Homo-oligomer: A and B are copies of this chain.
Amino acid sequence: MPRIDGRRPDELRPIRIERDYLDFAEGSCLISTGKTKILCSASVEDGVPEFLNGSGRGWVTAEYAMLPKSTKSRSPRDSNRGGRAREIQRLIGRSLRAVIDFKALGERTIILDCDVIQADGGTRTASITGAMIALHDAVSWMRKAELISSYPIRDLVAATSVGIVNGECLLDLCYAEDSAADVDFNVVMAGTGEFIELQGTAEERPFNRECLDRMLALAGQGIEQLCQIQRETLEL
């Protein structure tokens, strides 16, 4: 059965990354995956959260929000900062912290803002993939500004979703597919292909081990391609 937008089961949506989208940010990009569009920016600030004060170590944190009209049915602004948004921004922050050398950052905090301009599924995984670009550029800016002397990022991070829809295992679900999925999986990997975060949910009924294995394999292929696009964008 062909997918709703004509893709093969193992095909990502078209990715576009406009690097340096903002003039005033230390790092930023506008990432699009199909109709999903997210503005990712990185801000470098002095100081760290209280629990790191005096440790000589830095911090990376994220915020995620959807613009009210990013979806067909407008969501009030207050509702955009509730439980779901907080869960997602915790995931984004955790994912990127997994490849950071905090010692090398010094007592500075990098805030990654992921603002969803348009949402058609996969906003949390696209946020991670885009925030990686903004984070890299903010760190480059810090080196140029001679705030740091070594490069504090150990590897790339990228993410995508996989799911079971009508019994078929699909890569990079759009909103319509996501709504119909029996199982929904978000996978975050490092450039090495190792796992950083796995979140799988049975929406309708439990799933078995064989199903899990197929989804992980598919996610791995997709993330490999995303890391390749990140490398091209960053000219690494």
Residues in A lying within 8 Å of B, measured CB to CB:
22-25, 28, 35, 39, 41, 43, 45, 63, 65, 67-72, 74, 77, 81-84, 86-87, 89-90, 94, 98-99, 111, 113, 115, 117-118, 120, 155, 189-190, 192, 194-209, 212, 216
Contact = CB atoms under 8 A, between A and B. Distances in A.
A74 B98 CA distance: 24
A43 B197 contact: no
A71 B24 contact: yes
Q: How many copies does the complex hold?
A: 6
A202 B195 contact: yes
A57 to B, nearest CB: 13
A115 B67 contact: yes
A24 B72 contact: yes
A102 B109 CA distance: 35
A206 B157 CA distance: 10
